[in-house]
Amino acid sequence: MPEAAPPPLSAEPSAPDALLPERVRLVYQQIHWAIFGNLVTVAAVLAVCWNTLPRPHLVGWALASLVVVAGRLVVPFPKGERAEDLAALRRWLYPYAAFTLAAGAIWSYVPVAFFPILPETHRVFYAFLAGGLAAAAAIAYAPIGWLGPVYYLPVLVPLGLRFLLGGQGFSLVMGWMVLFFTVYILAIQRNLIRSSTRAIELARRNAALVGVLREANRQAEHLNAELRTQIAQTRAEAEARAAVEAREERLRAMAEATPTALFLVDQQDRRVHFGNRRFQELFGFVPAEDNRPPVEELFGDPADAARCLPPGETGSGGGDEQVLMRTAAGREFWGLLSFQALTDRARSGLLCGVADITERIHLEQQLRQSQKMEAMGQLAGGMAHDFNNNLQVIRGYADVLHRAPHLDADTRRDLERILRAVEGASELTTRLLAFSRDQVLQRVRLDPNELIGEVGRLLHRLLGEDIELRVEPGPHLPTVLADRAMLQQVLLNLCVNAREAMPAGGTLTLATALVTPDAALRQRVPEAGEGPHVRITVRDRGRGMRPEVLERMFEPFFTTKPAGTGLGLSTAYGIVRQHRGFIDVHTIQGEGTTFEVYLPPASGAAESPPLREEGTSRGGQELILLAEDDEDVRVLVQRLLEARGYRVLTAENGERAMEVFAAHREEIRLALLDVVMPRQGGVETFERMRELRSDLPVIFCTGYTGRVLDDADLNRPAVGVLKKPYLPAQLFKTVRTMLDAAAGGAQDASG
């Protein structure tokens, strides 16, 4: 049952003894502030009166004040259970009151003893200081009404009387003001006592109310105990449900956030019951109650659904299988499929994941294509090396026989057929080497505008009247360092393809410009370089190319022509790459194709093509070192040179050539070196020979460099090149030219 309500608050204060504990505690709570104020005022009196009053008396007064302050602090205050003991409280209160009275008496000492010698300003200061102390004491000691007057009456009454006894006008005014202030403080004290008593009674009543509320709360808790139990049970069930829902929500959020397309297949109806956001974006299906697509619709081949997601699967799952998938719109793509079997008491299903790997497969295909082209290039280069040696033997001996006198007409005609066949085979190996980027280039500085002008003049004989040729040279173009014949071959191949793409006629444009490849072009063509490039454009308005043709157009032997060789574009690609350039292609079916050849610019003026020298080269008697690993070629070249009067030393590899050269270093006038030889190649042999004799002229004989012979080697002094298969006349001319140049240089040096 609740306690009885507390009695109404009385207008009259309660009995003093009933409220004594609260009154004493309130006074004790103010003791520290009272002592602090006393110390501050003592310090103020010392500061003001230090040079006015006798210092021994002033110091004694201050010490007495401090003693009284210390006395009030040392009186023990009852705590704990003794805090409600009235006798214990009085034992603290009365000594405290005695020290308070002593403090007031000490403060009255100053006006009584030193009033005559105090200046008038000091008296006024002391009067205001005493008034402040009295007001503070009236407030601090209000809970115990008689304690305040005990302190401030000994201070104010002597001070007011001392002013009145002064007899002067200002002193009389001050005296009456002090006495009136004393009376006013007493009146205020009475009101403060009443307020304090009422506050204490209010606090006691609040405590009683708190007790009532506590009892009511206890009873309410007792009445609600069973309800709490029921609520706890209900809450546990709700929390369990919420935990399940939260876990499901987290799983759903994870499924929605994953970049893998997730979907759930029910094993009973074999339909898709759930698909995350990525699944909906990738496949275009939004599974719902009225729209659950069969799982077979997700596969490019419906039979793959049963193979990849077995209907009776209840095990741990399977995965990482590449399979062709299909979207709702019919678009097919390659996916990496995995699944996990899920089973509960009622149903079973498969949680499946699909990652779109079309781009990865495309990159893998590009890598395989690049590796295939690289391997084909290496194969083509290796075949060309051996094939050129065989062609060299056939061509050399056939030419020797063809030049023999007294041949009958049929034999000479047969030999001419052999030489033409060798010429065709040589052209084939040249195109293979162009694709493999292992052919020897004769680089000169070319004007791009002159180059397209020359190609344009050649095209007038190839293009029909229904094709309009436009040549658009660009302004202020730098030269390019390139092989003139090779670049002409590239442009002619592109133009011939353009003509065949316009069977009904059209416009073929050749243009040049100086451009800088942008970021989009460098991303589209990985081998694209940075900085300015000379761009040569071949544009037609023909049929354009299909995407599958565009992907494979640079593959060797790939062709869409019934009688094509498939080497035209691959040769052009190899030549441009060997010139440190690249090709970009734009095509739109029905609108035409644009090939853009980009070449790095060179410095210097363009060089004119060399003039052909007519006539037959004479022989000589100089000593020549021949290094060739193919025995048939070595025997042929030795026989040809010796027939012209030259003396020939032979070696089958680079190491043997160095041994022969070391033995005849001063006699040898020319070294004829095959580039690719076992044990030591021609370039390394050349370097070692030049270390022993820096002025030795050298001719490199090759149709395949293996990418060991570059422009720097060919541009060195006294270095020539013969591309296999060559005619005996080409051999004689090159040898004689190198020997004459070396002899002329030696004469200039001696002269």
Judging by beta carbons within 10 Å of its beta carbon (0-12, 13-18, 19+), is residue 675 exposed, middle or buried? buried
> Would you call the peptide bond into 725 cis, given omega within 30 degrees of 0 as the criterion?
yes
Q: Determine whether domain 258-356 maps to CATH 3.30.300.180.
A: no
When the candidates are 3.30.1360.180, 1.10.10.10, 3.30.565.10, 3.90.550.10, the CATH number that belongs to 448-602 is: 3.30.565.10
Q: Cα–Cα distance between 88 and 1 in angstroms, integer?
A: 36
The pLDDT value given to residue 596? 92
Low-confidence ranges of the chain (pLDDT < 50): 1-14, 436-438, 610-616, 706-707, 712, 749-751
> Phi, psi at residue 707, to the nearest 5°?
60, 30
Q: Cα–Cα distance between 70 and 214 in angstroms, integer?
A: 43
pTM of the model: 0.41
The pLDDT value given to residue 113? 72
Q: Cα–Cα distance between 74 and 96 in angstroms, integer?
A: 9
The pLDDT value given to residue 697? 92
Inter-CA distances, 456 with 23, 257, 449, 504, 510, Å: 122, 60, 10, 20, 8
Q: Cα–Cα distance between 454 and 482 in angstroms, integer?
A: 15
The pLDDT value given to residue 650? 93
Q: What angle do CA 267, 270, 272 make, to 5 degrees?
A: 105
Per the listing, tokens 């002619």 go with 492
> Phi, psi at residue 587, to the nearest 5°?
-145, 145
Instruction: Kindly list the strands in the beta sheet with 467-472, ordered across the sheet, starting from the edge strand earlier in the chain.
Output: 467-472, 506-515, 533-540, 592-599, 582-588
Q: Cα–Cα distance between 337 and 315 in angstroms, integer?
A: 16
Q: Which of 271, 266, 333 lies closest to 296, judged by CA?
A: 271
- Percent of residues, the chain, with pLDDT higher than 70: 79
At 675, is the secondary structure helix, strand, or coil? coil
Output the six-digit token pair for 421.
Answer: 């066949």
Per the listing, tokens 């070692």 go with 688
Judging by beta carbons within 10 Å of its beta carbon (0-12, 13-18, 19+), is residue 730 exposed, middle or buried? middle
Q: Cα–Cα distance between 700 and 713 in angstroms, integer?
A: 10
Q: What angle do CA 160, 162, 164 make, to 5 degrees?
A: 70
Sign of CA dihedral 373, 378, 381, 382: negative
Please state the CATH superfamily assignment of the domain spanning residues 623-750 in this structure: Response regulator (3.40.50.2300)
The pLDDT value given to residue 565? 60
- HEC per residue, 309-348: CCCCCCCCCEEEEEEEEECCCCCEEEEEEEEEEEECCCCE
The pLDDT value given to residue 290? 72
As separate numbers, helices (DSSP H) first and strands (DSSP E) second, the chain gives 22, 18
